[in-house]
Amino acid sequence: MSEQHSLNPFESGSVTASDVAAAKSGAEDLVNTLTAHTVHPSTELPSATSFPSALPNSENPVIQNISSSSSEPHHTSQSTPGETSSPVCPVSGAHGGADKKCPALEAGCPFTNTTKQNVDPEISNALWSVLTWKNTSCSFSTLMSILALVYVPSWINLPRLFFRTFRYVFLITSIIEFGGLFASNGKRGVLSHFRSSYITCDSKALDRIVNSIVDIFNVMLIQFQRILFAESPILTFTASVAAFIEFFLSGFLSYKSLFVWNVLFAFILPRLYVCNERSIKHLVASLERSGDKLKKQATETINTTVNK
């Protein structure tokens, strides 16, 4: 251990040449230390334990603690709220902000796991009204719009029609504007003064449209899960028959034709069900009674066999 010398100028005692040299060397060491430990605005001032001591860095526990705490940041469950508050994907079980495995990445998974049907009932009623033709004009326009979206792009080259139309529009407007500038000696055009404001998209209206589409998709997704888990066995059996028919049609129909057939079935079968609802319910009730009778007879047969 080297001899320690005080740097306090107000301390009493005799001053020798060795004391002056030691004080000078200590002052130089202090200046070098302060220069090495530059203080940034975002950091705290160094404490007294950060200055040089008699022990080297490898043997000084204070310096070891400081270096370890600066090189290895401490994270706790409270310091990372994004990992706990981010939605968990029910498909992959991953956090949107931590695992980066969901399709929506930081936004989380687009699917939620819930026990309630969080869908506006008006959307379900409106969709059923369209499919059952309660409003004929709305159902007809919806069906024609879907068929037009399927067949019009195959009949008409829409990009070519778009550019062929606007090449004449842009040419005519530029000629008219140049003519107005030429007639007024470059002071005033013709068409450039007609526009009073710019037309932009309303984000709120787009959000409402997207939300309506998502609600319709959720209705179909919920109905598919009800069929899949046999909440209504008759409906599940009907869906299996429809799937068999679709499997048969997919053997010789193209994707477009198969899609059109599905759309037509979606607009025809619900209407047939509504028109024949009483007879269908009577048939279902008779089938249930027959099933109960067969179940009762089978139970009685098993009981008599066991008793013998």
Task: Give the whole-angstrom CA distance, residue 2 versus residue 12.
Answer: 22
Q: How much is the pTM?
A: 0.54
Domain assignment present for 190: no
Quick one: 46 and 91 in the same domain?
Answer: no
What is the reported pLDDT for 261?
92
What's the one-letter identity of residue 160? R
Domain assignment present for 96: yes
Number of domains in the chain: 2
Phi then psi for residue 88, to 5 deg, are -100, 135
Angle among Cα 31, 33, 36 to the nearest 5 degrees reads: 110
Domain assignment present for 27: yes
What is the reported pLDDT for 19?
64
Quick one: 103 and 65 in the same domain?
Answer: no
**What does the pLDDT profile of the chain (308 residues) look like in tens digits?**
444 444 333 344 445 566 667 777 777 887 777 776 554 444 444 444 444 444 444 444 444 444 444 444 444 444 444 444 555 555 555 555 555 555 544 555 667 776 666 667 788 888 889 999 998 999 999 999 999 999 998 899 999 999 999 999 999 999 998 988 888 887 777 887 777 788 889 999 999 999 888 888 988 898 899 999 988 888 899 899 999 999 999 988 899 999 999 999 999 999 998 999 899 888 888 888 888 889 888 888 888 888 87
Quick one: 30 and 66 in the same domain?
Answer: yes
H or E segment and range at residue 238: helix 233-249
Domain assignment present for 43: yes
Name, in order, each residue with C-beta under 8 angstroms of 280's C-beta and a sequence gap of 6 or more.
Answer: 273
What is the reported pLDDT for 98?
53
Domain assignment present for 144: no
Residue of 85, 86, 114, 90 lying closest to 100 (CA atoms): 86
Domain of residue 34, residue span: 17-71
Domain assignment present for 38: yes
What is the reported pLDDT for 169?
93
